[in-house]
Chains A and B, each alone.
Chain A
């Protein structure tokens, strides 16, 4: 059984075709301009003096030597800047009423709480001068004990903040029926209890962050260039935090070289550049360095997960119980506390589980703050349930594909009301599994695996599965309200035709690598019957697109794209009225095809939409009451999340002598609903898989016991490259979402969500006959080697 796979060409129009990205020529030729490329004569360069201690009392800060250095204009401490702030650094997601949030200012006053915490700033004529002078700032620290390990911190052995009652930020619970969970575990034929560690990850966007704030010559306005995913949210938060009227701030995100959630934040450096530009009446800029980014930009993940499954003798899962510890780091950034909550609804995965409970405790440590990182809560949830399902399969002696098949939410159950309180929009999970098993050649791989084992080969084969469902399209505003998030989840769009028939699309979505310009122009091109190249997309500038909620959580297409489609429909409706007037026909008798309105059955009686745009522009002869110009706007607030899903399968070879793991094959079958551009979908899945493989095998933000970050260069923080990855085999099923008129779901995070458990399951699978049941991430060769040495062979070599 196999669901239909979308053809790579559409019956008509460009939607559904693999159109090359319109963005790429500029990006590949170096023509694209990033914040660092913005030329602002007379700008001062800021360097930030950062704490070298994870936790220290700041006894004094002496900037006098720095002030005497060449080119230095100013050097300021936290105390010098304290009056600049109308409020502390913002956190927009107080997940519980009693959530603790330690005071957080852009520059610390008397206590530094992680390596990288800002303690002073220096402004000079060049970046080099500013950095030289920053090294001359003398800070007298008294090192304090640091809360480094997450579980130790949860026990309050060392407090991350002086004077805090405890390290606990909050405890959040989702337990619709605790008694049902208890009963299910009491009655279970089989249970598994697993404990997983989600290591911290450094987002490592290709472009580090950058800010440049330019006070305007009159009007009191500030133009803020920032490498951000969220110019609209940033404008509001800058206004509130720095005490600048919001309408005086214009945020521009030029080309942004990736974010993965790390630029979904309001950072100290953005506030500092604005406050210093206001204070000194000069442009102020800052460009982050790579090693600085490792500690001053948020980290992802950082959890200890405990997951229990209760199943009957046939392997049907009756209950899932989850306890999380989530590492907040030293402070709460914009959505730090909410990240684990985004996963809270998905720990039963793709499975029809009747009983469920979840608790999460957020814990402060003396480390870089965590926040959203590609998938944000959902990769963690998927990892836990998919690793635990493999553990259950081993315990039952059942093939992991068969166990999944038995537990899926059936295709006939959608829309599916989940035990965690969501309504899954549409799905056909078994079809994606079958497609993936077929593409990878599952049975042949199992035979090859058995052959190598019986031959005593030192290169073992492992096959790992991962089925996932995620929630995208953040978000219905009412649902966000119930989760205590302090903003809505809508998106805005305007579509307008210019006198020459060209089209402008204004969107509140903010691309940073996703190919929005291409996708939006394809949607509008088909709606209006114009070539995609005639569609200009305006974005990422609050002066041009004043309203918007930006790009994160795979929301841009299902929410922002829908707003654009709705606006285009409204424009077409108006054009139809004008066409009817010109053609002296009834509007309902007109058909729009290839940009021509024609009277049904009389194709020669027609008028082009471009001609109508000009008529609407001149306004010389419009129907009574019709306003000039063809322009329409829409704001779309989704009625539900969307729920993309799929199955990924990783095949690894494990060298038992060295512990080396080679990912030799990878199959990903994803269902993101209808696809606007399958080429862009492929690209998102490719990058996502690579990023998930990175967590499984390579990356970790490592700290020593004193809280020093050890992985501050790419020689130590191992981001894999193409040479470490096989060619991916991608398949797709298409189950349109009923939640939005485009039938789309979102695909920005799917690969990352699916791939991490698939890869770790594959390594454990390769070694399971030796008694290996778990491997901590990242699964390094040394960890594999030690596990092989420590494991006891399973009698009979069972899988």
Chain B
């Protein structure tokens, strides 16, 4: 439970952080809330040589109404997102999901940027931003770029961010109604065994938690919905083409079954919420 030795630097600005990242991108990690990275370091599953603490960089914690979308600073803590009036009004799915992450300690420390950049398929927020078709804004030595959520999650703990880039903002188009989130776990603070984020506002989008090596969309379900299938029929295709893992908490077979049940429930709930 003691991490391997590392160097700690506290960034005062995004420029500080990017500068230090550029020095040795492969063995440098950004630290925000620390609730994903530090446990891995304590178990010595992650052994970065340099830790750049961006937790006190000013100006990166906000939830703003930006017209057609909501802009969220990467250092916004889960709890601040959960209770944000702007988020609740325009992206209620995201506010709700932020309130489902971990436990109160995690929600008061963890940040949306940290959670997304970590790229854990068992995390809730990646599925939410995928279902909401959000856009990630990354800054780096080659300037700023925007990455669609559907291009962002690449593999297990792997995202489209380059090692020298920093996620700074998340832009989420407004989706005030027709959403649902289903999370199946054993204990309140656990990662989901399977989770479902569904948005029926516009083209139906359904994203799944913990149904593969990365956060994924239930393409079979989306296709079925587009073709006019009802919730149960669409849900039957929830795990089509997916390879969920078997672990201590659930077999792959059980995960597929849960995905079907939870997608159906999410679709029914989202449709009812759309009115």
Interface, chain A (partner B; CB < 8 A): 127-128, 131-132, 289-291, 657-658, 660, 698, 702, 710-711, 713, 715-716, 718, 720-721, 723-724, 780-782, 785-786
B187→A721 contact, CB < 8 A: yes
CA distance A780 to B254 in the complex (A): 12
Complex CA distance for A721 and B102, rounded to whole angstroms: 13
Chain B residue contacts of A698, Cβ below 8 A: 186-187
B89 contacts chain A at the CB level, 8 A cutoff = no
B250 within 8 A of A: yes
Which of B60-68, B144-152, B165-173, B188-196 contacts the other chain? B188-196
CB distance from A720 to the nearest CB of B (A): 6
Contact A290 B190 (CB under 8 A): no
Interface contact tally, CB-CB below 8 A? 51
A721-B187, A786-B254 known, 10 other contacts, Cβ within 8 Å: A128-B2, A698-B187, A710-B248, A711-B248, A715-B190, A721-B189, A724-B186, A724-B187, A780-B249, A781-B193
- Cβ-defined contact, B2 with A724, below 8 A: no
Residues of chain B lying within 8 A (CB to CB) of residue A290: 1
Q: Which of the residues B4, B191, B261 comes within 8 Å of A658, measured between beta carbons?
A: B261
- Report whether A702 and B248 are in contact in the complex, using a CB–CB cutoff of 8 Å: yes
> What's the nearest-Cβ distance from chain B to residue A46, in Å?
14
Q: Cα distance A132–B44 when bound, in Å?
A: 11
Judging by beta carbons under 8 Å apart, are B190 and A785 in contact?
Answer: no
B235 CB → nearest A CB, Å: 11
- Give the nearest-CB partner of A659 in chain B: B254
Residue of B2, B193, B261 ringed by the most chain A CB atoms within 10 A: B2
For the complex, what is the distance from the CA of A658 to the CA of B249, rounded to whole Å?
Answer: 14
Residues of A within 8 A of B193 (CB): 781
Q: How many residues of B contact A (CB 8 A)?
A: 22
Contact call A785/B248, Cβ cutoff below 8 A: no
Give the chain A neighbours of B262 by CB distance below 8 A: 658
> Are B2 and A131 closer than 8 Å at their CB atoms?
yes
23 A–B contacts, CB within 8 A, in A order? A128-B2, A289-B1, A291-B1, A291-B43, A657-B261, A698-B187, A710-B248, A711-B248, A715-B190, A716-B249, A718-B187, A720-B187, A721-B187, A723-B187, A723-B189, A724-B186, A780-B186, A781-B184, A781-B193, A781-B254, A782-B254, A785-B257, A786-B254
- Whether B1 pairs with A718 at a CB distance below 8 angstroms is no
8 Å CB interface, B14-53 against A: 43
Q: How far is the CB of B239 from chain A (nearest CB, A)?
A: 15
Hey, which bits of chain B sit against chain A, CB under 8 A? 1-2, 4-5, 43, 184, 186-191, 193, 248-251, 254, 257-258, 261-262
Q: Which residues of B contact A781 (CB under 8 A)?
A: 184, 186, 193, 254
Given contacts A658-B258, A713-B43, A782-B254, contact A723 B1 (CB under 8 A): no
By beta carbon, the residue of chain A nearest B258 is A658
Instruction: Report yes or no: A127 in contact with B261, Cβ–Cβ below 8 A.
Output: no
Given A289, A716, A721, which contacts B188 in the complex, CB threshold below 8 Å? A721
- Chain B CB count within 10 A is highest, among A127, A710, A721, A781, for A781
List chain B residues, Cβ under 8 A from A721.
187-189
**Contact of A723 with B188 in the complex, beta carbons under 8 Å:** yes
Q: A635 vs B250: C-alpha distance in the bound complex, in angstroms? A: 54
In the complex, what residue of chain B is closest to A660 when comparing beta carbons? Answer: B184
Closest CB of chain B to A222's CB: distance in Å? 27
| Neighbouring A residues of B184 by C-beta, 8 Å | 658, 660, 781
B86, chain A: closest CB distance, angstroms: 28
Q: Which A residues lie within 8 Å of B5 (CB)?
A: 128, 132
B contact residues around A132 at 8 Å (CB): 4-5
Whether B186 lies near A718 (C-beta < 8 A) is: yes
- In Å, the complex CA distance between A208 and B4 comes to 21
**Cα separation A131 to B4 with both chains bound (whole Å):** 9
Chain A residues, Cβ within 8 Å of B251: 782
On chain A, the residues within 8 Å of B258 by CB distance are 658
Nearest chain B CB to A709 CB, angstrom units: 11
> In the assembled complex, how far is the CB of residue B210 from the closest CB belonging to chain A, in whole angstroms?
13
Minimum C-beta distance from A636 to chain B (A): 43
Contacts of B187 in A (CB 8 A): 698, 718, 720-721, 723-724
In the assembled complex, the Cα of A723 lies from the Cα of B185 at a distance in Å of 12
A723 contact set on B, CB distance < 8 A: 187-189
Whether the pair B188, A724 counts as a contact (CB closer than 8 A) is yes
Task: Give the chain A neighbours of B250 by CB distance below 8 A.
Answer: 782
Bound Cα distance from A715 to B5, whole angstroms? 24
B248 touches A716 (CB 8 A): yes
Q: Which residue of B lies closest to A719 (CB)?
A: B187
Closest to B184 in A: A658
B-side contacts of A780, CB under 8 Å: 186, 249
* Min C-beta distance of A486 to chain B, whole Å: 37
Q: Which residue of B lies closest to A722 (CB)?
A: B188
For the complex formed, measure the closest distance between the CB of B247 and the CB atoms of chain A, giving whole angstroms: 9
Chain B, residue nearest A783 (CB):
B254
Shortest distance in angstroms between A50's beta carbon and chain B's nearest beta carbon? Answer: 14
**Docked pose: A128 CA to B186 CA in angstroms:** 34
CB-based nearest A residue for B188: A723
Give the contacting residue for A785; candidates B2, B186, B254; CB below 8 A: B254
User: A190 → chain B, closest Cβ, in Å?
Assistant: 36
Q: When chains A and B are docked, how far (Å) is the Cα of A723 from the Cα of B103?
A: 10
The minimal Cβ–Cβ distance linking A534 to chain B, given in whole angstroms, is: 40
CA gap between A724 and B186 in the complex, in Å: 8
Determine the chain A residues whose CB is within 8 A of the CB of B249 once the complex forms.
Answer: 716, 780
How long is the Cα–Cα vector from A785 to B260 in the complex, in angstroms?
Answer: 14
Nearest CB on B from A606, distance (A)? 57
CB distance from B241 to the nearest CB of A (A): 22
B191 to chain A: which residues have CB within 8 Å? 715
Q: In the complex, what residue of chain B is closest to A700 when comparing beta carbons? A: B248
Q: Closest 7 interchain pairs by CB? A: A723-B188, A289-B1, A782-B254, A128-B2, A657-B261, A724-B187, A716-B248
| Chain B residues within 8 Å of A291, by CB | 1, 43
Min distance, Cβ A199 to any Cβ of chain B, angstroms: 13
**Cβ of B103 to closest chain A Cβ, rounded Å:** 8
How far apart are the CA atoms of A657 and B189 in the complex, in Å?
22
Q: How far is the CA of A289 from the CA of B2 in the complex (A)?
A: 9
Whole-angstrom CA separation of A715 from B247 in the bound complex:
12
Q: How far is the CA of A658 from the CA of B190 in the complex (A)?
A: 17
Q: Which residues of A contact B190 (CB under 8 A)?
A: 715, 718
- The residue in B5, B191, B254, B262 that gathers the most chain A C-beta atoms within 10 A of its C-beta is B254
Closest CB in chain A relative to B104 CB, distance in Å: 10
How many angstroms from the CA of A289 to the CA of B258 in the assembled complex?
35
Residues of A within 8 Å of B2, CB to CB, are: 127-128, 131
Chain A residue nearest to B122 (CB atoms) is: A715
Shortest distance in angstroms between B166's beta carbon and chain A's nearest beta carbon? Answer: 27
Closest to A70 in B: B5
Q: In the complex, which residues of chain A have a beta carbon less than 8 angstroms from the beta carbon of B4? A: 132
**A711 to B193, alpha carbons, bound, how many Å?**
16
Q: How far is the CA of A713 from the CA of B42 in the complex (A)?
A: 11
Cα distance, A721 to B261, chains bound together (Å):
26
> What CA separation (Å) do A723 and B248 show in the bound complex?
22
Q: How far is the CB of B271 from chain A (nearest CB, A)?
A: 18
B144 → chain A closest CB, angstroms: 36
A481 to B257, CA, bound (A): 56
Instruction: Provide the residues of chain A in CB contact with B1, threshold 8 Å.
Output: 289-291
- Nearest Cβ distance between residue B36 and chain A, in whole angstroms? 12
What residues of B have a CB within 8 angstroms of the CB of A702 in the complex? Answer: 248
Bound complex: CA of A752 vs CA of B1, how far in Å?
Answer: 30
CA of A779 to CA of B202 in the docked complex: distance in angstroms?
A: 41
State A785–B257 Cα separation when bound (angstroms).
Answer: 10
Which residues of A are found within 8 Å of B257, using beta-carbon distances? 785
Q: When chains A and B are docked, how far (Å) is the Cα of A289 from the Cα of B42?
A: 11
Closest CB in chain A relative to B193 CB, distance in Å: 8
Contacts of A716 in B (CB 8 A): 248-249
Q: How far is the CB of B209 from chain A (nearest CB, A)?
A: 15
CA distance A721 to B104 in the complex (A): 13
Chain A neighbourhood of B248, CB < 8 A: 702, 710-711, 716
Give Cα distance in the complex from A724 to B184, angstroms: 13
Pick the most buried of B1, B250, B262: most chain A CB atoms within 10 A of its CB: B1
Inter-chain CA distance A762–B216, complex, in Å, is 37
Bound-state Cα–Cα, A178 to B235, Å: 59
